[in-house]
């Protein structure tokens, strides 16, 4: 098949979709390490995650990537907002941190970290750890980004809070070194 410029595109051989674990790579060592050879934890910050709360493909992409990494032997953690929709799906949430405060511009905002009891204990067993940042003022709404009138006018502040809150709890969530994966504009302030 010729491309628009008349050249034939190169043939691409797909990589195997079979996950590779550290045991399978023959070394017995972690797949992702720091320059000091310490295991690296991949932490995903995302506004959406299937099946908890999503509006499109972002939630599926984050879920698939983090689960693939975990099955491959990489310690993987996902942090997302605790939306009203999440509570409808994960009915067994419990706090895993004390309340904390972050400074968002001139405002001091309170948050707390939650985790589903059913999902606890999965890390290291082929599943990522999934954590939720609670702030009912920002995330206790009927929709993720807006309602029938349009986007929520404070989305910028909501996701600035989310980024700062995630960075605040990061030392409790993952030992250094951490590879921080910020998904889409909602988490752009974190890196």
pLDDT at 24: 44
Alpha helices in 19-97 (DSSP H): 57-71, 84-89
- Cα 187 to Cα 181: distance, rounded to the nearest angstrom: 9
- Cα 15 to Cα 168: distance, rounded to the nearest angstrom: 37
**pLDDT digit string (tens) for 146-184?**
999 999 999 999 999 999 999 999 999 998 889 999 999
Q: Name 148's Cβ contacts closer than 8 Å, sequence gap at least 6.
A: none
Work out the pLDDT band at 32, boundaries 50, 70, 90: confident
**pLDDT digit string (tens) for 56-65?**
899 999 999 9
Q: Is the pLDDT of residue 15 over 70?
A: no
CATH architecture of 41-187: 3-Layer(aba) Sandwich (3.40)
**pLDDT digit string (tens) for 122-144?**
555 688 999 999 999 999 999 99
End-to-end Cα distance, the chain: 41
29-68 core/surface letters (b: 16 or more CB in 10 A; e: else): ebbbeeeeeebbbbbbbbbbbeebbbeeebbebbbebbbe
């Amino acid at each position: 098949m010729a491309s628009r410029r008349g050249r034939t595109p190169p043939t691409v051989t797909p990589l195997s979709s079979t996950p590779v674990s550290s045991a399978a790579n023959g070394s017995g060592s972690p797949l992702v390490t720091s320059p000091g050879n310490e295991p690296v934890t991949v932490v995903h910050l995302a506004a959406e995650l299937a099946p908890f709360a999503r509006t499109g493909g972002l939630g599926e992409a984050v879920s698939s990537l983090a689960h693939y990494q975990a099955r491959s032997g990489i310690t993987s953690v996902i942090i997302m907002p605790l939306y009203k929709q999440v509570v409808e799906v994960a009915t067994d949430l419990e706090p895993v941190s004390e309340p904390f405060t972050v400074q968002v511009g001139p405002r001091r905002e309170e948050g707390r970290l939650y985790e589903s009891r059913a999902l606890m204990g999965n890390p290291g067993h082929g599943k990522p750890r999934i954590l939720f940042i609670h702030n009912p003022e920002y995330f206790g709404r009927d929709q993720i980004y807006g309602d029938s009138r349009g986007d929520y006018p404070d989305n910028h502040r909501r996701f600035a809070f989310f980024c700062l809150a995630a960075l605040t709890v990061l030392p409790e969530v993952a030992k250094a070194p951490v590879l921080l994966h910020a998904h889409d504009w909602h988490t752009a302030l974190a890196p």
